[in-house]
Amino acid sequence: DGGITQSPKYLFRKEGQNVTLSCEQNLNHDAMYWYRQDPGQGLRLIYYSQIVNDFQKGDIAEGYSVSREKKESFPLTVTSAQKNPTAFYLCASRQYSNQPQHFGDGTRLSIL
């Protein structure tokens, strides 16, 4: 089945450590997105990419970095500069403009 795979499902970060969240899609979608969700809140856009080797900052990009070297992959790195990284992270993709976004099942990041 086609879809979006996020891994790991749970991730723990130590102080001062960078961690990378994986997002892979086999839907042949051009655009990919990373969102952050805090308890009881809606989704906030971190970064998005409409094409390989290109990406744009969303509303809360500080402390995060991404790469888009392959169409099917859009990893997110949570750097030590992100002082409050505990959240639920969601990756999404879509095929064409104004088509629905397809979401993965998320990665829950916590601080040790």
User: Looking at 14-22, 66-74, 75-83, 86-94, which segment touches other proteins (CB under 8 A)?
Assistant: 86-94
Q: Could you check whether the bond before residue 39 is cis, i.e. omega within 30 degrees of 0?
A: no
Check: CB of residue 110 under 8 Å from CB of residue 12. Answer: yes
Measured distance CA(7)–CA(98) in Å, rounded: 27
Give the three-class secondary structure for 83.
Answer: coil
Judged by CB under 8 A, the number of residues near other proteins is 28
Site map (CB under 8 A) of other proteins, residues 4-43, x = contact: x--------------------------x-x-x-----xxx
List C-alpha distances in Å: 19 to 42, 69, 96: 23, 18, 30
**Strands 10-13 and 107-111: what pairing?**
parallel
The residue among 82 and 107 lying less far from other proteins, judged by its C-beta, is 107
Site map (CB under 8 A) of other proteins, residues 50-79, x = contact: x-----x-x---------------------
Using CB under 8 A as the criterion, which residues of the chain lie in contact with other proteins when the complex forms? 4, 31, 33, 35, 41-45, 48, 50, 56, 58, 88, 90-92, 94, 97-98, 100-106, 108
